[in-house]
Amino acid sequence: MKLISWNVNSLRVRLAQVLQLLDEETPDALALQEIKMTEELFPLAAFAERGWHALVCGQKAYHGVALITRKKAELMHKGAPPGMDDAAARLVAARMDGITIVSVYAPNGQEVGSQAYAYKLNWFAHLADWAATLEGPLALLGDFNVAPEDRDVHDPKRWQGKILCSEPERAAFRDLLARARLTDAVRALTEAPMFTWWDYRLRAFERGWGLRIDHALVRGLSPVRACVRTDYRGMERPSDHAPLVVEVSP
Amino acid sequence: MKLISWNVNSLRVRLAQVLQLLDEETPDALALQEIKMTEELFPLAAFAERGWHALVCGQKAYHGVALITRKKAELMHKGAPPGMDDAAARLVAARMDGITIVSVYAPNGQEVGSQAYAYKLNWFAHLADWAATLEGPLALLGDFNVAPEDRDVHDPKRWQGKILCSEPERAAFRDLLARARLTDAVRALTEAPMFTWWDYRLRAFERGWGLRIDHALVRGLSPVRACVRTDYRGMERPSDHAPLVVEVSP
DNA sequence: GGTCAGCGCG
DNA sequence: CGCGCTGACC
């Protein structure tokens, strides 16, 4: 079973690249983040014409996630983690072949100590609460906006304690894995660097300054292969994230 | 001698199309309007590399005109018509081979009776004052924002008395021709419709709803041939105006 | 409809 | 840097 996670930073702008990725990889499920559109504007037809099903959790301008699947999947949840009293479109969960698959877009947190940072930690706690209640095989695919360890950062010193890398964020991430009994699929397979995001502002990709903040977290599924499609960062108008491709077996 | 006038509606967006037009037509002079940039931002190098000279009258965000020439031309005037006490970048005039060539971007006028409308009529009066003082062969090339006669409008009834077609605008346009002893080069050659502008909003081009508001007005030069490059309206991101190509002999 | 400015955001 | 938004202008 092939699973892909990709923060597209606007599906409007990246639709052609998404369709190309589906053509090239034919995954069982593709989890998209930052589609930045409402469900009404989602280009359902473009996917349907090519035989893909889509479940969408959208909103205006910001965030927004989707699950593109080869087989029809059953919607289980969308919006914020349950119990959060928040409308932000950051989750869509579905059941397919007895597996729960979730597209996840965690808050960025802006700056350590900010309101947004507190919100991010709280969001992770609620996500862990919810994921711990889910039964059976599970795959969380998405942009978690956390680089779990120093080896997930091109220059750990420079990023030391900064947003995406602070110890409370890393603890929240570890807590999610522990409480929901999830495995980081990439780290189960390799210790090599596997960056997935490069800051547009710093021209970070050209300089090799990446972070690993997109993840495939699985339970009841065995990671078999993982790779990052960095070639999608070399395209005309690339997203700042590259697609993360993971193969798992039951 | 081949002269072209084109309102490009942003040179930033249309640069490739302008360079293609120069390749295809190799005119003696190309008058551009609505370049929408300051002189500092003007892509001089792109023209110079291909052997073209440029004289630019630019401003931030709106308006802005330029003259692209095969031979180096001598700058005579830029800005507003003299005597207007106005900084709007709507004119650039130069002398080339003893001929005065001017790129003209007349005010739109918004609505009949508005402040902008009064300004437009005043602007035309000052343009006529100035053009009447110029000696020798003369060519005014540009977007005059006036359809001189009903046959210059796809649907004269619909446009009757409206902006671009009102009688005071037409009178101001005729007055310019009379006082500066200018000939409308297109109408000297043909009575056929020769639309140059189509409203984006109405999807006017697809419907054939054009107006002739771009003109080549000449003195001491004999019009030989005229055409509108409507194929430039079929391109990827077209301007709302098509290039007007005119050949004249001394 | 399509351009630009200026702003919020990451 | 590269998104989306609002608002002005044509």
The pLDDT tens digits of the residues spanning B178-211 come to 999 999 999 999 999 999 999 999 999 999 999 9
Q: Which 93-152 positions of B have CB less than 7 A from strand D?
A: 107-108, 110, 116
Mean pLDDT across A59-87: 96
Q: Which 1-30 positions of A have CB less than 7 A from strand D?
A: 9-10, 12-13
- CA distance linking residue A20 with residue A238, whole number of Å: 13
CB of B16 nearer than 7 A to strand C: no
- CA distance linking residue B17 with residue B232, whole number of Å: 8
Mean pLDDT across B159-171: 97
> What's the token pair of residue A131?
């994921």
- CA distance linking residue B230 with residue B227, whole number of Å: 9
Q: Which 181-200 positions of A have CB less than 7 A from strand D?
A: 200
* Distance of A61 CA from D5 C1′ (whole Å): 7
pLDDT for res A171: 98
By percentage, how much of chain A surpasses pLDDT 90? 99
* Distance of A221 CA from C7 C1′ (whole Å): 45
- The 3-class secondary structure across B166-224, one letter per residue, is CHHHHHHHHHHHHHCCCEEHHHHHCCCCCCCEECCCCCHHHHCCEECCEEEEEECCEEE
For strand D, give the nucleotides within 7 A of a protein CB. Answer: 1-5, 9-10
Mean pLDDT across B132-156: 98
Instruction: For residue range A13-34, list pLDDT tens digits in order.
Output: 999 999 999 999 999 999 999 9
Instruction: For residue range B61-114, list pLDDT tens digits in order.
Output: 999 999 999 999 999 999 999 999 898 999 999 999 999 999 999 999 999 999
Sequence-separated (6 or more) residues with CB below 8 Å from residue B15: B43, B46
Q: Which 17-76 positions of B have CB less than 7 A from strand C?
A: 36, 60-61
Domain ranges within chain B, ordered by starting residue? 2-249
Indicate the average pLDDT of chain B.
97
Question: Domain B2-249 adopts which CATH fold?
Answer: Deoxyribonuclease I; Chain A (3.60.10)
What's this model's pTM, rounded to 2 decimal places?
0.90
CB of B201 nearer than 7 A to strand C: yes
Indicate the average pLDDT of chain A.
97
Instruction: For residue range B57-72, list pLDDT tens digits in order.
Output: 999 999 999 999 999 9
* Distance of B61 CA from D7 C1′ (whole Å): 14
Residue A68 CA, distance from chain mean position: 13
> What's the token pair of residue B233?
């309206």
pLDDT for res B64: 96
CB of A203 nearer than 7 A to strand D: yes
pLDDT for res B98: 97
pLDDT for res B9: 97
pLDDT for res A55: 98
pLDDT for res A167: 98
Q: Closest nt to B14 (CA→C1')? A: C3
Mean pLDDT across A146-175: 98
- The 3-class secondary structure across chain A, one letter per residue, is CEEEEEECCCHHHHHHHHHHHHHHHCCCEEEEECCCCCHHHCCHHHHHHCCCEEEEECCCCCCCEEEEECCCCEEEEEECCCCCCCCCCCEEEEEECCEEEEEEECCCCCCCCCHHHHHHHHHHHHHHHHHHHCCCCEEEEEECCCCCCHHHECCHHHHCCCCCCCHHHHHHHHHHHHHCCCEEHHHHHCCCCCCCEECCCCCHHHHCCEECCEEEEEECCEEEEEEECHHHHCCCCCCCECCEEEEEEC
pLDDT for res B35: 96
Q: Which residues of A21-30 are buried (b: 16+ CB within 10 A; e: fewer)?
A: bbeeeebbbb
Confidence grade of residue B28 (pLDDT, cut at 50, 70, 90): very high
Confidence grade of residue B216 (pLDDT, cut at 50, 70, 90): very high
Cα four-point dihedral sign A60, A63, A68, A74: negative
pLDDT for res B12: 95
